[in-house]
Chains A and B, each alone.
Chain A
Amino acid sequence: EDKVVQSPLSLVVHEGDTVTLNCSYEVTNFRSLLWYKQEKKAPTFLFMLTSSGIEKKSGRLSSILDKKELFSILNITATQTGDSAVYLCAVEAFINTNAGKSTFGDGTTLTVKP
């Protein structure tokens, strides 16, 4: 059974701090690892990672995947109150060439205080 474990489950920081969110996984037939940000609505896609060691970056957010050790991290630098959200990690397994099956972690609830 595919499994995703995120840590920490919750985190409180002050504006300007840097945070690192962790995601470890077990999966059969790996297709991709995905990060999402969820506020009080549907998840918003952040990154899709398929190859080890290649950092993906978007503004103050970055993420990297280690397929040997089966984990990924999401970094947020110079945090702002608008970064407060639940950050979800998911691992996708192949069903066939057209579709995958994603297993989600419990999420990390990040609170950024002014």
Chain B
Amino acid sequence: ETGVTQTPRHLVMGMTNKKSLKCEQHLGHNAMYWYKQSAKKPLELMFVYSLEERVENNSVPSRFSPECPNSSHLFLHLHTLQPEDSALYLCASSDRTGGLEHFGPGTRLLVL
């Protein structure tokens, strides 16, 4: 399988649940990203991993916890979320030449 994949594609969770979003890239890229897209707001950068090391954490609440176990996989662990966290969560990857050319299909999250 090529490109950037994300699972699950849709997720409904209660505020007390714990869930994880998964992202996988088979492009040989060495940087991976989490973005959040809420209704009527621009895409917001959450986290950047470069060579499996977190290099950017954009003032994201601690109820979001990223994990990058290797260069192909990225997780976003969710716990005690709020309804305002409902959004489309997008994973992306890039190589050394730059440019976010590859977004995953996203996980549409609804927090009840």
Contact = CB atoms under 8 A, between A and B. Distances in A.
Interface of A: 4, 31-32, 34, 41-45, 48, 50, 88, 90, 92, 95-107
27 contacts: A31-B98, A41-B105, A42-B103, A42-B105, A43-B90, A45-B100, A45-B101, A48-B98, A48-B101, A50-B98, A92-B98, A92-B99, A96-B55, A97-B96, A98-B50, A99-B31, A99-B49, A99-B50, A99-B56, A99-B94, A100-B31, A100-B100, A101-B45, A102-B33, A102-B100, A103-B45, A104-B42
B48 A95 contact: yes
Given A101-B48, A102-B45, A95 B102 contact: no
Contacts of B30: 98-99
A41 B94 CA distance: 19
Contacts of B51: 98
Contacts of B66: none
A98 B42 contact: no
Interface of B: 30-31, 33, 42-45, 48-51, 55-56, 88, 90, 94, 96, 98-106
B42 A107 contact: yes
B100 A90 contact: yes
Contacts of A4: 42
A97 B95 CA distance: 10
A42 B90 CA distance: 7
The A interface, classified by DSSP as helix, strand, loop or mixed, is: strand
A51 to B, nearest CB: 12
Given A41-B106, A42-B105, A50-B98, A104 B43 contact: yes
A100 B56 CA distance: 10
Nearest to B55: A95
Contacts of B43: 43, 88, 90, 102, 104
